[in-house]
């Protein structure tokens, strides 16, 4: 049994789209000030993070960051695929997601939150502030810079999602650490 013809048509369309995206990226993204900005925020915050991370709690903190990164990347892909938003500038042509946010800013932000605010009360209060800054500060800034384009999404939709990500991931990581420690 072979691959249905429709599958090959989809594959060919995907390859054509990828080629178009690469050509667009080379012509309109590469070496613009937005590209340099995105490259800087993809790489530089990791230097700061390594300097301040509590190395004694590294496993728990990194687990938080990896979980946030996976969730952010998945949600970003859903939003792009459903046409809720898109990015006019990206660091690489292959991934349409916002890599500097999904792999650097959000994970580092949530890892620092997890590291410095261990009690639930302090964590939630700070999480609310962080969600507001991300939703109503950083997202509009990225829009103003021409990087982030909203289609059928609003900044206010992101606010509860950031809270849900932070609270659920803290709960899961805390549970994993407690479970792991109880087995020793």
119 and 174 assigned to the same domain? yes
45 and 17 assigned to the same domain? no
13 and 56 assigned to the same domain? no
Mean pLDDT of the chain, nearest integer: 96
6 and 85 assigned to the same domain? no
122 and 61 assigned to the same domain? yes
Q: And the tokens for 66?
A: 């990896």
61 and 72 assigned to the same domain? yes
- Computed on alpha carbons and rounded to an integer, the radius of gyration of the chain in Å comes to 19
pLDDT of residue 45 exceeding 80: yes
pLDDT of residue 50: 98
37 and 24 assigned to the same domain? no
Q: By residue range, what is the domain housing residue 5?
A: 1-30
- CA 23 – CA 1 distance, rounded (Å): 36
Domain count, the chain: 2
pLDDT of residue 97: 86
85 with 149: CB under 8 angstroms?
A: yes
* pLDDT 10s digits, 82-126: 999 999 999 999 887 899 999 999 999 999 999 999 999 999 999
9 and 98 assigned to the same domain? no
pTM: 0.93
- CA 86 – CA 122 distance, rounded (Å): 34
- CA 182 – CA 165 distance, rounded (Å): 25
68 with 165: CB under 8 angstroms?
A: yes
pLDDT of residue 3 exceeding 90: no
pLDDT of residue 181 exceeding 90: no
């Amino acid at each position: 049994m072979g691959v249905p013809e429709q599958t090959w048509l989809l594959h060919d369309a995907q390859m054509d789209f990828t080629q178009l995206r690469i050509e667009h990226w080379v012509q309109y993204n590469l070496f613009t000030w937005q590209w340099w900005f995105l490259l800087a925020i993809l790489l530089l915050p990791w230097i700061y993070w390594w300097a301040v991370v509590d190395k004694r709690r590294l496993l728990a903190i990194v687990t938080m960051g990896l979980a946030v990164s996976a969730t952010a990347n998945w949600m970003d892909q859903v939003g792009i695929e459903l046409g809720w938003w898109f990015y006019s500038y990206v660091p690489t042509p292959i991934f349409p997601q916002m890599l500097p946010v999904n792999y650097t800013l959000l994970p580092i932000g949530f890892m620092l939150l997890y590291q410095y605010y261990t009690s639930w009360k302090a964590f939630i209060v700070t999480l609310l502030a962080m969600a507001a800054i991300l939703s109503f500060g950083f997202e509009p800034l990225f829009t103003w810079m021409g990087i982030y384009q909203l289609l059928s999404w609003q900044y206010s939709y992101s606010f509860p999602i950031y809270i849900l990500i932070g609270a659920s991931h803290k709960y899961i990581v805390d549970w994993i650490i407690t479970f792991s420690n109880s087995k020793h």
